[in-house]
Amino acid sequence: MKIISIVGARPNFMKVAPLHRAFKQNNSIQSKIIHTGQHFDRAMSTIFFEELELPEPDYFLGVGSGTHSIITAKIMTAIEPILQSELPDLVIVVGDVTSTLACALVANRNGIPVAHVEAGLRSFDRSMPEEINRLLTDQISDLLFTTERLATDHLMKENISPDKIHFVGNCMIDSLHYYQKKTSDQSILKQFNLLPASYVIMTMHRPSNVDTLEGLQKLIRLLSVICTMRTVLLPLHPRTKDRLNHFGLLNTLTQIPNLIITEPLGYIEFITLIRYSQLILTDSGGVQEETTYLGVPCLTFRKSTERPITVDVGTNILLDDLNPEVAIHHVREILDGHIKQGQIPELWDGQAAFRIRDILLNQFG
């Protein structure tokens, strides 16, 4: 059985790594990886292959940056001849990035079965490109693997046959589980002169928060106050850095006392820093799940989340938008010890990739 897994952007690598590892343990599966190059620099891509022990991708498309339409078109035209030559038994797409939908479309149109890992997640905000990617990918997939039971409910309401849907758990949590020993090493904290449970981490990159002057001014105001209470570590996403430069605010940000600004961090470094932090502020989907698994308080600056289990069961608190006054209130509460107690969701046990492998072997023989 030949399986081709697609990676394209930073969130994909942590989900494909445990799948590839599980596939390689079975001699009846030939596992190949195509990297579209949607994220293509070392900080956003290469280091993840190294840290997650992934082999060099069998194909690298190198599509680079551009608008959603340009990237989609580049990926589709580049991957089609590869799939026609390889003729895999299955194409696996993960998550909700542009590469996910583009590769699912090409596989579907060439009669190749598609499996969507992390299916059924919904924010119900169609202004988010990721929501459109999720909806369309699920509609054309032959197998849909969900991370939580509510995602299964969403798919059923969208008239997807229950025979296609499998609740298996969370592959990204598989990576967290697998690298627990490595992320217990506190040496990265010494690099930034940090002590466990004494600092805050922030990650921000979504257009709704960083694409406008008003949003960036709110971000800077929020950081200015929090940095009077704790040291804040800010791995600066390329998009956020570009927007700060555009509005002439990068220097203002760098002048905030007690703020540590870094380039995007590698997976092991970042997870270690989350594990020992006191609080995370983010607009990332994946970070909501990682903090829930690690039991770290998380404030998410979005009007909705496609991962409601992190709010209902986990440590995540959803804030409507980047309102500094509201956010500061919540930050003070958490730093004073009033912490939301969370639990690890069902089947987030490090075995999702093996469940997927076994289902595929049963389906394809």
Residues carrying an active site annotation: 205
Report yes or no: 118 and 149 within 8 Å, Cβ to Cβ: no
**In contact, 142 and 115? CB cutoff 8 Å:** yes
196 DSSP assignment: T
Percentage helix, strand, coil for the chain under 3-state DSSP, each rounded to 5? 50, 15, 35
Q: How far apart are CA 134 and CA 355, in angstroms?
A: 22
CA distances from 38 to 34, 102, 108, 211, 296 (A): 11, 11, 21, 20, 30
Nearest to residue 103, comparing CAs of 130, 77, 143, 76? 76
127: enclosing H helix or E strand? none
**252 phi and psi, to 5 degrees?**
-60, -40
DSSP string, 35-63: E--SS-SIIIIIHHHHHTTPPPPSEE---
The helix (H) or strand (E) run that includes residue 317 is strand 316-319
For residues 239 and 208, the answer to whether their CB atoms sit within 8 Å is no
Neighbours of 33 (CB within 10 A): 23
